[in-house]
Amino acid sequence: MFDLHTHSIFSDGELMPSEMVRRMASIGNEGFAITDHADFSNISHVLSNLLKLRDFDYEIEFLVGVEITHVPPKLIGRAVELAWKEGAEIVVVHGETIAEPVAEGTNSSALDEEINILAHPGLIKDEDAEKARENKIFLEISARKGHCLANGHVARVAEKFSCDLVINTDMHSPSDIINSEVAKKILLGSGVKEPEKVLRNNETLFRKLRNR
């Protein structure tokens, strides 16, 4: 599995990046992205620290980036621009999950920007799903408690509007890590008809971003 949404000690995760690598590798995952929570106060700090890892070789590949989180919709574009400027290899935006009080309009604003994934988009609207398809932004099926409550809706809307999906853990602790077999079960439980296709999307996006 290629998990494209995880968190380290540089935001609210429990693990150092090196331990994340070891634990991912130990269950057979092939790659992942560290996407720590970020806003204007810490985008530069997070990325400057994570990019130091590029000086060393690790046993599996990974991307470094951010999850733009709870930034007001009107400011998301500026945050995304800053993340790319500071060297992000992947940019995720924290969508309108029903598990948190995310500002209305976040999904729509995020989908206007140069991002890769809209994380846990909650009860995403039809017009926003169309925007995701047009702008080639992936919608996320989430393995995380709370965020997963709207997976069925996300899967149905994605099928209706031919949106591309990925599945991620939004990992914060060791117990959140899953492999491809568990991911397939979550996808099937969400109503996704082709779980293997979604897992391929994860790998395809990872490879594309890693080879930029």
Q: The tokens 């729509």 sit on which residue?
A: 108
**Domain spans of the chain, in order of start:** 2-210
SS3 call for 100: coil
Alpha-carbon torsion (54, 58, 63, 65), positive or negative: negative
- Is the pTM here over 0.85, yes or no? yes
The pair of structure tokens assigned to 63 is 């991307």
pLDDT in tens, the chain (212 residues): 999 999 999 999 999 999 999 999 999 999 999 999 999 999 999 999 999 999 999 999 999 999 999 999 999 999 999 999 999 999 999 999 999 999 999 999 999 999 999 999 999 999 999 999 999 999 999 999 999 999 999 999 999 999 999 999 999 999 999 999 999 999 999 999 999 999 999 999 999 999 98
Class of domain 2-210: alpha beta
pLDDT given at position 212: 87
Report the C-alpha gap between 176 and 104 in whole angstroms. 28
Cα angle: 52, vertex 7, 60; to 5 degrees? 60
